[in-house]
Amino acid sequence: MEKIRDAFEHIISKGSWLIKETSWERNDQEVRESQFTLGNGYLCSRGVLEEIPYDAHPGTYMAGLYDEAGSQVTEIVNLPNPINFKLIAQGEKVGVIAMDTISHNRVLDMQKGILKRRTVYATTNKERFDYQSLRFFSMANPHIGAMQIHFTPLDADADIIVETFTDTSMTNKGILSEGRKRHFEVNKFINVKNIDYVCVRTFQRKIGVGYANHLTVTNEGKSYGTSEKILRLYIKKGETATFTKIFTIHSTRDLGFRGRLERRGVASCAKAVKKGFERLLEEHIEAWRRKWDISDIDIRPDVNLQAALRFNIYHMIICSPPDSRSSVPARTLSGEGYRGHIFWDTEIFMLPFYIFTNPETAKRLLLYRYKTLPAARRNARERGYKGALFSWESADTGKEVTPEWHRDLDGKVIRIYTGKMENHIVADIAYAVNNYFIVTADEEFMLEAGLEIIFECARFWASRVEYNKNRDVYSIKNIIGPDEFHINVSDNAFTNVMARWNLVRAVQLCRNYQARDMRRFKKLVKRIKLRESEIENWARVSNRIPIRVDRNGIIECFNGFFKRKYMPIRELDHNFMPTLPKKISPRQLKTTQFVKQADTVMIFHLLPDSYPLSQRRKNFDYYDKRTLHKSSLSPSMCALTGWDAGSFDKAYHYFLFSLYGDIENKHGSTDGGIHAASLGGNWQMVFHAFAGIRIKGGVLTINPSLPREVNAIYLNIKFRKWVLGITVSKNKVKILPSSKDEPALRINIFGKSRGLRNGKVSVFESK
Ligand code: BGC
Mean pLDDT of 207-226: 95
The backbone torsions φ and ψ at residue 102, rounded to the nearest 5 degrees and listed phi first, read -80, -45
Q: How far is the CA of 98 from the centre of ligand 1 (A)?
A: 39
Q: Given a cut of 50, is residue 623 above it in pLDDT?
A: yes
Distance CA 219, CA 37 (A): 30
167 CB less than 6 Å from ligand 1?
Answer: no
pLDDT digits (tens, 9 = 90+) for 591-620: 999 999 999 999 999 999 899 999 999 999
Enumerate the domain spans of the chain: 16-295, 298-690, 712-765
pLDDT digits (tens, 9 = 90+) for 328-359: 999 999 999 999 999 999 999 999 999 999 99
Query: Which residue minimizes the CA distance to atom 8 of ligand 1?
Result: 631
User: Bridge-partner residues for 195, per DSSP?
Assistant: 192
Least-confidence region, from 166-180, 207-221, 551-565, 751-765: 166-180
Ligand 1 atom index nearest CA of 344 = 10
Q: Given a cut of 50, is residue 274 above it in pLDDT?
A: yes
Mean pLDDT of 730-747: 96
| Cβ-contact 151, 117 below 8 angstroms | no
Q: Which long-range contacts (CB under 8 A, 24 or more apart) does 275-284 make?
A: 277/146, 277/148, 277/244, 277/246, 280/138, 280/140, 280/144, 280/146, 280/246, 281/11, 281/114, 281/136, 281/146, 283/138, 283/140, 283/141, 284/112, 284/113, 284/114, 284/136, 284/138, 284/139, 284/140
User: Which CATH number is correct for 298-690, 1.50.10.10, 3.40.50.300, 3.30.70.100, 3.30.200.20?
Assistant: 1.50.10.10
Task: Band the pLDDT of 256: cuts 50, 70, 90.
Answer: low
Q: How far is the CA of 57 from the centre of ligand 1 (A)?
A: 23
338 CB less than 6 Å from ligand 1?
Answer: yes
Instruction: Report the share of the chain in percent with pLDDT over 70.
Output: 99
Helix (H/G/I), strand (E/B), else coil: 334: coil
Question: CB burial class (10 A; 0-12, 13-18, 19+) of residue 282?
Answer: middle
Q: Given a cut of 90, is residue 582 above it in pLDDT?
A: no
Bridge-based pairing state of the strands 230-235 and 100-109: unpaired
Taking the CA atoms of 190, 192, 195 and 201 in sequence, report the sign of the dihedral they define: negative
CA distances 478 to 211, 403, 409, 421, 492, Å, are 48, 19, 23, 6, 9
Q: Which of 345, 487, 495 to mutate to test the pocket of ligand 1 (most atoms within 8 A of CB)?
A: 345
Catalytic residue among 92, 127, 452, 484: 484
Q: Average pLDDT of the chain?
A: 96
Bridge-based pairing state of the strands 744-749 and 699-702: parallel
pLDDT at position 174: 80
Q: Given a cut of 70, is residue 49 above it in pLDDT?
A: yes
Neighbour count for residue 180 (Cβ, 10 Å): 11
Question: CB burial class (10 A; 0-12, 13-18, 19+) of residue 518?
Answer: middle
Q: Which regions of 184-272 does DSSP assign to beta strands (E)?
A: 184-192, 195-202, 208-219, 222-226, 230-235, 241-251
pLDDT at position 472: 97
Query: Which residue minimizes the CA distance to atom 11 of ligand 1?
Result: 631
pLDDT digits (tens, 9 = 90+) for 383-426: 999 999 999 999 999 999 999 888 777 778 889 999 999 999 99
Question: CB burial class (10 A; 0-12, 13-18, 19+) of residue 404?
Answer: exposed
* 50 part of the active site: no
pLDDT digits (tens, 9 = 90+) for 16-46: 999 999 999 999 999 999 999 999 999 999 9
Mean pLDDT of 432-447: 98
Mean pLDDT of 568-592: 91
pLDDT at position 407: 79
The backbone torsions φ and ψ at residue 734, rounded to the nearest 5 degrees and listed phi first, read -115, 135
Mean pLDDT of 445-452: 98
Ligand 1 atom index nearest CA of 596 = 8
pLDDT at position 45: 98
Q: For residue 369, what is the DSSP state?
A: H
Higher per-residue pLDDT: 408 or 680: 680
Q: How far is the CA of 633 from the centre of ligand 1 (A)?
A: 7
Q: How far is the CA of 513 from the centre of ligand 1 (A)?
A: 36
pLDDT digits (tens, 9 = 90+) for 553-570: 999 999 999 999 999 999
Fold of 16-295: Beta-galactosidase; Chain A, domain 5 (2.70.98)
Q: How far is the CA of 501 from the centre of ligand 1 (A)?
A: 22
Q: Given a cut of 50, is residue 1 above it in pLDDT?
A: no
Task: Band the pLDDT of 70: cuts 50, 70, 90.
Answer: confident
